Structure 1
């Protein structure tokens, strides 16, 4: 930009990575670890709920769906609110809802009460992820944005895996209530730290006189520059700031890109949450032990942690839309082959890891891809609404899990059916790539 106007994004992009930026990424990582843990907890404790409350497997579907529907509401609502009132404020509010909601869930006396509480907790869960991703993205320099945000976002899938490991260790000793107590106390301990040391989004503060001094202080820590006399720090041009953040998702040739992105999220999260919600219960009903079940199910998110990081390194070099279609295609193949490895728990664990590496690895980078598609004033909305499209798929998947298992006639056919949505996601991403969508790891908001 020229004259006395300077873009905060350009300042961050041209500066070396600072201690403040590393702090933001680490804090967002911790936040999404806890978000992932509390999201996954219901799936890992489900077999114990069936045993203790004497309910049928199908009766769990409303509880699964309620939490995910709450996440849908949280994703849709938090994006526009964060774009208007700040990423940090909405992140703190969402995490508070998660902490309190998870603690209260541990007191639920029956499945009906738990269903209502999971919906309320889900509202917080849905608001945490898009705001954490947006903060991480905006504090990352463009040259390493895909890798750095993937490292931060990988906390979500690590939290999902942690839920399995913790459940496997704690369930025999403290039961399902103890697992939920852990999930509620941890966010409460983190909240004071976030209030004190997590900064607000630089792009949100840009152009707002009330934040001018605070923004200058933050950019001084990032760039080392001391003199801001006569400089006006801005995010987007005034004309674009005035545009509706929701309208922006479909303006300037973004409509097809946005719809294809939503379809991809829908398909991937349909499969992902169907597996994370139902796989522990289905494996238990198929004769696997508690510890074995938790370890196998945890391979989906754990594989995604490694897959997300490896693919982010490659995407920084080759571009997201060149690799993501192949990654989803790999997920479809891995899902179709998983049902052939049921004779050995070790081989099944390895194949489920491959599913996680490809499917969850793709999801990690899809969220970051979404943050690069839109200008600053619509970024949180763009990420939130893309996740919301995915939440719709996750709700349907969580409802259909038990039915699909019964209808498919067994685990082998069950996994083959799940390969179909992953294949559709691969095709949608391929069309995005062919349409010339320029959402590449340099983070330019087209």
Structure 2
């Protein structure tokens, strides 16, 4: 059986030094792209009504548009993430941001419904390719002791971007047309492409496996740590041929198959929960005669909870351990959902519960990203994180569909919340199984 290369000597250099300004810059750039990703991912949801009026179609016709975007997110994560392990994180990140920026901008020019479907698929493709590389870059430029915090900090950019999209919509939509929102959502990523090209270095772990890019590696290392002698960080071999041919297959080798499958289940279940909430909470609240503004506020609070949960996640996981924290979060989610199903819907109580729900669900998602980084060694890290997110997108597609079916069949609010116990229980069971699963040689490769 082929060995998967462990961390390079460069990782030890990073681990043994204080975090410098250049590393904070890398983290800041990753966070910026995550905010833009979250902005463009959520923007369409705020603009359905004015877009439907402009295109002379019913708002209900946007189901295939959302499905196309989510399918694009899945394809982007599955296809572009393995490419990053082969040609470099920075190159694929540049391509991903260029794609979602360009097609967000094209959305502003749409005049036909059919064009909107394929344009949103392409936007999703770029969005899906960006996040796995942000996670990998953030973890690889931080010392092991700070990797969880870095990953969860980057992930908090997603709900932060969603909040920004909601606030910008409230402000700009009253002054200009919906097209202006997509111009903003397209121009900002395209400007950021130039910033990434100039300021974001390639992954040190990738450069360590690329002998032909030794000069670039030495230059990046010198910018990070001027006192370090690059000759002491040479790696004895480049990426093995079997990894260059099929990095996805390595997710199932060396005993990783069990941990890979167990990781995919909570990813899918948690994203099912997350996207069901984002898609249907305003409609669900309308069934109990709550005003539309309450639904919007519920989503904003859920997103703010996501920001708070993601910010806290890394610190809490460092103190108490990754798996115990995830177990507590999913258990607390189950308790909260039971309470929401049995208590009468009173907005003064329901809205704070949405904030707590955001802390738990989106905090857990940030935590799962950190766990994925730790499970997979650097040589297949983008592939591992990307495929976990890609498979998880199946849940993000099925969740809104299931919510729509429950509403169309007249399910009551308590019934819908009780149904939400199922994915939470499955996620809890999978995390417990991950905790009890035997460690592999790949796990020892570390962050």
Question: TM-score, normalized by length of structure 1?
Answer: 0.90
Alignment match, 1:144? 146
Q: What SS does the corresponding residue of 2:176 show, helix, strand or coil?
A: helix
2-structure distance, mates of 1:443, 1:361: 25
8 Å CA contact retained: 1:146, 1:316: yes
Alignment match, 1:216? 218
Q: Deviations over 1:66-102 (max 9, x none)?
A: 1000011111111121111110111011101111111
In 2 relative to 1, CA 273–227 (structure 1 residues): closer, same or farther, beyond 3 Å? same
Q: Deviations over 1:118-154 (max 9, x none)?
A: 1111110110111111111111100111012211221
8 Å CA contact retained: 2:77, 2:389: yes
In 2 relative to 1, CA 49–228 (structure 1 residues): closer, same or farther, beyond 3 Å? closer
8 Å CA contact retained: 1:333, 1:419: no
- CA positional deviation for 1:247: 2.1
Alignment match, 1:95? 97
Q: Does 1:72 align with 2:71?
A: no
Which of 294, 297, 301 aligns to 2:296? It is 294
Alignment match, 1:304? 306
Matches within 5 A, 1:193-212: 193-212=195-214
Alignment match, 1:420? 422
2-structure distance, mates of 1:415, 1:55: 31
Using the TM superposition, name which of 255-264 and 276-285 deviates more.
Answer: 276-285
In 2 relative to 1, CA 230–316 (structure 1 residues): closer, same or farther, beyond 3 Å? closer
- CA positional deviation for 1:253: 1.3
- Matched positions, count: 441
8 Å CA contact retained: 1:260, 1:428: yes
Question: TM-score, normalized by length of structure 2?
Answer: 0.90
8 Å CA contact retained: 1:369, 1:439: no
2-structure distance, mates of 1:377, 1:94: 20
2-structure distance, mates of 1:341, 1:168: 31
Alignment match, 1:10? 12
In 2 relative to 1, CA 338–408 (structure 1 residues): closer, same or farther, beyond 3 Å? farther
Matches within 5 A, 1:118-129: 118-129=120-131
Q: Deviations over 1:310-358 (max 9, x none)?
A: 2211111222112112212222332333356664434322111111110
Which of 391, 394, 404 aligns to 2:393? It is 391
Using the TM superposition, name which of 82-91 and 200-209 deviates more.
Answer: 200-209
8 Å CA contact retained: 2:156, 2:366: yes
Alignment match, 1:335? 337
Using the TM superposition, name which of 72-81 and 151-160 deviates more.
Answer: 151-160
In 2 relative to 1, CA 65–231 (structure 1 residues): closer, same or farther, beyond 3 Å? closer
Which of 354, 360, 364 aligns to 1:362? It is 364
Alignment match, 2:435? 433
Q: What SS does the corresponding residue of 1:173 show, helix, strand or coil?
A: coil
Alignment match, 1:248? 250
- CA positional deviation for 1:283: 4.5
Alignment match, 1:406? 408
- CA positional deviation for 1:200: 0.4
2-structure distance, mates of 1:443, 1:157: 32
Matches within 5 A, 1:39-118: 39-50=41-52, 53=55, 55-56=57-58, 58-118=60-120
Alignment match, 2:446? 445
2-structure distance, mates of 1:190, 1:376: 26
Using the TM superposition, name which of 194-203 and 229-238 deviates more.
Answer: 229-238
The runs of 5 or more residues in structure 2 that have no matched partner are 1-6
2-structure distance, mates of 1:408, 1:126: 34
- CA positional deviation for 1:195: 0.9
Alignment match, 2:38? 36
Alignment match, 1:315? 317
Q: What SS does the corresponding residue of 2:201 show, helix, strand or coil?
A: coil
8 Å CA contact retained: 1:320, 1:439: no
1-structure distance, mates of 2:441, 2:332: 21
